[in-house]
Structure 1
C-alpha cells in the first residue's frame, strides 16, 4: 500500500447526499474524507445532468427539506446559479429548483473546503477491509497508486451501495418479485428552443399534456417544465418504450433539459450492462433530438448543446437496514419517532419493462418521515447509507431517490456518523433525541 490516510468519518460518493453528509460530519469537528470517482462533485446532478431538483416542498407548498440542502440553494442564488424554488409547470409537484451545474460544482467544493473536508477526486474505492464484521478501512485506487483510508464510521453515498457490497453488508436489488429496476436515462440539453411557442401550443391544446399541468396559472408563470406532446410522440413511433415528451427549462433562456430516453432491463452494477446502456442512451439522444427538431413546435431551430457524461441511474443496489421504508409509509404520510428527514415527493416509478410511469401521492399533510433506521446497515455496525441506496422497498425508493431527499438523508447520516465518533458508540446507539437536536440546530426540517 503506497499511502495511508487516517480519518474519523469516510464518505464514499460525491453526489448531493455525499456532499451533505461530508459537510455535516466535518461541521461537528471530526476528521472527514470524501472520496469521489470523477474529477468533480455533484453525482447524478452533474455527471448525469439530473435536473432540476424536485422537490423541497409538499403539494400544498410547505417546505419540508431545509438545512444544508437549502444552504446550497441560497449559495447558488448568491452566485447567480439558481432562481430558487419555482412553480412546477408540469404540475407533478408544487415546486422545482433549477440550478446551473457548473456553478453548483464550485459552490459545493467551496462548502466542503470551508467545512474542513478532505476531498479525494479521481479515486475509486475497490476494496473494504473488514475485521470481525466491522469496516476498518477502504482501499482507493487513483493516480497516486493505492491508498488505505482508515476511519471509525463509513457512509455509503455511492448510489449503488458499493461500500456496502464490498464490505459484505446485506443488500437488495430492484423490486422483490424479479429484481428488475427502473430504467436508465441519458439526458441532454438543447439550445435555440422557442419557449414562447411551446407555451402557446400548450394553451391551445391542453388535452395533449399531463392532466395536472396548471393551465389556469400558466399565463403568469415562467415555463419550468413540460410533460406531454402525446400525439406527436405517438405519431413518431420511436423505438423507445415511453409515452410522452418530458423536458425542463434552463439554465439558459432558450435551453431545455430533455428527459426522454429510456434504457430498460439492464443492471447498473454490471460493467457490461452499463457499457451497453451508455451506448444505447447516446444513440437514443440523437434519435430524440431529430424527432423534436422535426415534429415538436418550438424546436425547429434547436440543437444539442450538451449530453451527460454518464447515463442517469434511478435504481440499483440498496442496503438492508434496521427498517425498510414502505409504499404505505409514503402514501399514508406516516410519522416515525426516529425521523431524520422528511419529503413531499410522491412515488414516481418509471416502469422497468413497460412504457408508463406509476405515481402515488402522499395523503395527510403531504409529507412522510424517513427514519434513522433506514440509514443503518443491519449487519455492519459502523456503516451508514444515504441517498439512493438507503433501506427501502422498490416502491418507496421511487421517492427517496430524488435529489432533495438525498441531501436530507446525507445531512442526517453525516451528523449521526460524527456523533458516533465523538461519543465513542456505534451509530445505532447514538441517542435519537441528541441527533434530532443537532439536526434542528442545523436547520433541518424534522
Structure 2
C-alpha cells in the first residue's frame, strides 16, 4: 500500500512499541480512543526485548514502598500468572530495593494479546520517516515498511520512540546529551550466558565481600535469591580489557543457570546517527566476545558457561530529550519534588553513566524516597497535539538518568496515553486538558500518585 492509498485514521497514534508505547497504547485504547501503535520491529518490547534490558528496575523506593502501579503493574501480574515472572524481588546488587525479572519471549507474546483486548491496532515492520504538519499540529505521519509507504492520520500523537523521532521530524525543539558538549551516556550491548553456577558465585561473594559493590546486602544474602551482582573488582582490574568501565555487572535469569551481562561500554557515538549507531553495534559485539571470554576464564562459577544470546540491537541510554513546558531537573529528583500536575512517580535514584569516564554518578532520592514527574514534562513547547512518553520526555541530562528506566517509562506512557485519549475524545489539545481530570482518571486505572500507598 503506497501513500496514494487511503490513509489509516485514528484518534490516537502512538509511535514506538517499547514499554512506554505499550502502556500509552493500552491506556488510550481502554479510555475509548481509536488507537494505532506503530513499531519498527516485527515484535514489541523495545529495549526490554530488542536490547535485552533486564530486569525492570524499580517499582519501589529504597525503603521498599511501591510507587509505580497501573498498567505497568498489571503487565507484571499477567506475566506472573503465565509463570513468566517471579514478581518484584530484592535487588542483591543493592543499588535499589527491588528488581523485576521477566521472560522476554513471553512478554513479546503477551502484549499483542493485551493490545487486541484494548482494541489497539498494531502496525509492525514500519518506520516513521515523515511528519505532515499543519501549523503547530501534526496532521499525519508517513511510514516506510514492507508494504511501501503508508500515511496514518491522527488527532493526537504520542512519541514513545525513545529517541524523540516523531518530535524531531515535526520540528519540535530537542536537546541531546549533557549541557556543554552534547556527550551522551554510553551504550551497552547486552548478552546472556548459560551454564553459570550461581551458588558458586554467591559463595565467592560471601567469602570476599570487599570485592563487590559496597551496598550489596550481605547480611541478607544467605537467604535471598541472587538477582544481581556488581563487582569482581580484582578480576576486572587484572584482566585489563579495553573497556572503559570499573566493574562487572550482571543479573540472574530468566533461566536457572543464566545471567544477563551489562558490562560492555561504547562511548562517544550517537544513537541518532545511523552510521555512528552501526559502529556502536560493531564495537559492542566485539566487546561481548571479550567480556564473555574473560568471565569464563576468570570468574568463579563461570567455568562451564557459554554465550547464549546477544541483543538484537545495542542498548541506548540517552539520545534526544524533547523541549517541554517543564524540564525535570536533577535537583527535583534528589529532593523528592512534588508537583501539582504530577502524573507519575519514581523511586529510582540518579544513575548517570559517565559519557567519557569509567564510573557512574549516583544520587539518592530524599524526602519520602520518590519524586513526581509533572504532566508538563510530557507536553512539547511547540507542537500542540503531541505528547511524549518514556526516555524522550522533557528533562535535563541528569534527571534523564532516572526517568529513562523502564518502570518510569511505563508510568509516563500510561499517563501520556490516557491524556491523549481524553484530549482526542474531547476534541481539545493535550496542553488544555485539566491535570486534575487526568489525575483522577489515572487513579481509577491504578496509577500511584503522591499520598497513595
Q: Which range, TM-score by smaller chain?
A: over 0.9
After the TM superposition, which residues 213-252 of structure 1 pair with which residues of structure 2 at under 5 Å, given as runs? 213-252=216-255
Deviation at 1:96, TM superposition (A): 0.2
Measure, in 2, the Cα distance between the counterparts of 1:336 and 1:105. Answer: 35
Partner of 2:305: 302
Q: In the alignment, which of 373, 376, 386 is matched to residue 373 of structure 1?
A: 376
Partner of 1:161: 164
Q: Does 1:352 align with 2:355?
A: yes
Partner of 1:207: 210
The alignment partner of 2:316 has SS state of coil
Deviation at 1:285, TM superposition (A): 0.2
Measure, in 1, the Cα distance between the counterparts of 2:146 and 2:353. Answer: 38
TM-score, structure 1 length as denominator? Answer: 1.00
Measure, in 1, the Cα distance between the counterparts of 2:4 and 2:428. Answer: 31
Q: Does 1:315 align with 2:350?
A: no
The answer to whether the Cα contact below 8 Å between 2:90 and 2:97 also exists between their aligned partners in 1 is yes
Deviation at 1:413, TM superposition (A): 0.1
Measure, in 2, the Cα distance between the counterparts of 1:163 and 1:91. Answer: 37
Partner of 2:73: 70
Deviation at 1:315, TM superposition (A): 0.1
Partner of 2:148: 145
Deviation at 1:211, TM superposition (A): 0.2
Q: For structure 2, which runs of at least 5 residues remain unmatched after alignment?
A: none
The answer to whether the Cα contact below 8 Å between 1:333 and 1:365 also exists between their aligned partners in 2 is yes
Partner of 1:123: 126
Measure, in 1, the Cα distance between the counterparts of 2:426 and 2:91. Answer: 43
The alignment partner of 1:7 has SS state of strand
The answer to whether the Cα contact below 8 Å between 1:2 and 1:145 also exists between their aligned partners in 2 is no
> In the TM superposition, what whole-angstrom CA distance separates every residue of 1:411-434 from its partner, at most 9, and x where no partner exists?
000000001011111101111111
Q: For structure 1, which runs of at least 5 residues remain unmatched after alignment?
A: none
Measure, in 2, the Cα distance between the counterparts of 1:12 and 1:424. Answer: 20
The alignment partner of 1:23 has SS state of helix
Partner of 2:337: 334
The answer to whether the Cα contact below 8 Å between 1:50 and 1:312 also exists between their aligned partners in 2 is yes
Partner of 1:287: 290
The answer to whether the Cα contact below 8 Å between 2:56 and 2:101 also exists between their aligned partners in 1 is yes
Q: Does 1:91 align with 2:94?
A: yes
Q: Does 1:444 align with 2:447?
A: yes
> In the TM superposition, what whole-angstrom CA distance separates every residue of 1:88-108 from its partner, at most 9, and x where no partner exists?
000000000000000011111
The alignment partner of 2:219 has SS state of coil
The answer to whether the Cα contact below 8 Å between 2:195 and 2:302 also exists between their aligned partners in 1 is yes
Measure, in 2, the Cα distance between the counterparts of 1:442 and 1:107. Answer: 19
Measure, in 2, the Cα distance between the counterparts of 1:144 and 1:273. Answer: 28
The alignment partner of 1:239 has SS state of coil
The answer to whether the Cα contact below 8 Å between 1:338 and 1:372 also exists between their aligned partners in 2 is yes
Measure, in 2, the Cα distance between the counterparts of 1:73 and 1:350. Answer: 27
The alignment partner of 2:415 has SS state of helix
After the TM superposition, which residues 351-430 of structure 1 pair with which residues of structure 2 at under 5 Å, given as runs? 351-430=354-433
The alignment partner of 1:180 has SS state of coil
Q: In the alignment, which of 265, 268, 272 is matched to residue 271 of structure 2?
A: 268
Measure, in 1, the Cα distance between the counterparts of 2:27 and 2:217. Answer: 37
> In the TM superposition, what whole-angstrom CA distance separates every residue of 1:162-184 from its partner, at most 9, and x where no partner exists?
00000000100011111000000
Deviation at 1:2, TM superposition (A): 3.9
Measure, in 2, the Cα distance between the counterparts of 1:331 and 1:270. Answer: 32
Measured on the aligned residues, the alpha-carbon RMSD in Å equals 0.5
> In the TM superposition, what whole-angstrom CA distance separates every residue of 1:52-110 from its partner, at most 9, and x where no partner exists?
00000000110000000000000000111100000000000000000000001111111
The alignment partner of 1:33 has SS state of strand
Q: In the alignment, which of 47, 66, 70 is matched to residue 44 of structure 1?
A: 47
Measure, in 2, the Cα distance between the counterparts of 1:218 and 1:143. Answer: 50
The alignment partner of 2:237 has SS state of helix
Q: In the alignment, which of 187, 190, 200 is matched to residue 197 of structure 1?
A: 200
The alignment partner of 1:80 has SS state of coil
The answer to whether the Cα contact below 8 Å between 1:5 and 1:148 also exists between their aligned partners in 2 is yes
Partner of 2:59: 56
The alignment partner of 2:225 has SS state of coil
Measure, in 2, the Cα distance between the counterparts of 1:404 and 1:273. Answer: 28
The alignment partner of 2:218 has SS state of coil
> In the TM superposition, what whole-angstrom CA distance separates every residue of 1:168-208 from its partner, at most 9, and x where no partner exists?
00100011111000000000000000000000000000000
Q: In the alignment, which of 81, 90, 108 is matched to residue 84 of structure 2?
A: 81
Partner of 2:184: 181
Deviation at 1:132, TM superposition (A): 1.0
Partner of 1:30: 33
Q: Does 1:434 align with 2:432?
A: no
The worse-fitting range, judged by mean Cα deviation, of 10-19 and 143-152 is 143-152
Measure, in 1, the Cα distance between the counterparts of 2:146 and 2:338. Answer: 46
Deviation at 1:240, TM superposition (A): 0.1
The answer to whether the Cα contact below 8 Å between 2:11 and 2:425 also exists between their aligned partners in 1 is no
The alignment partner of 2:149 has SS state of strand
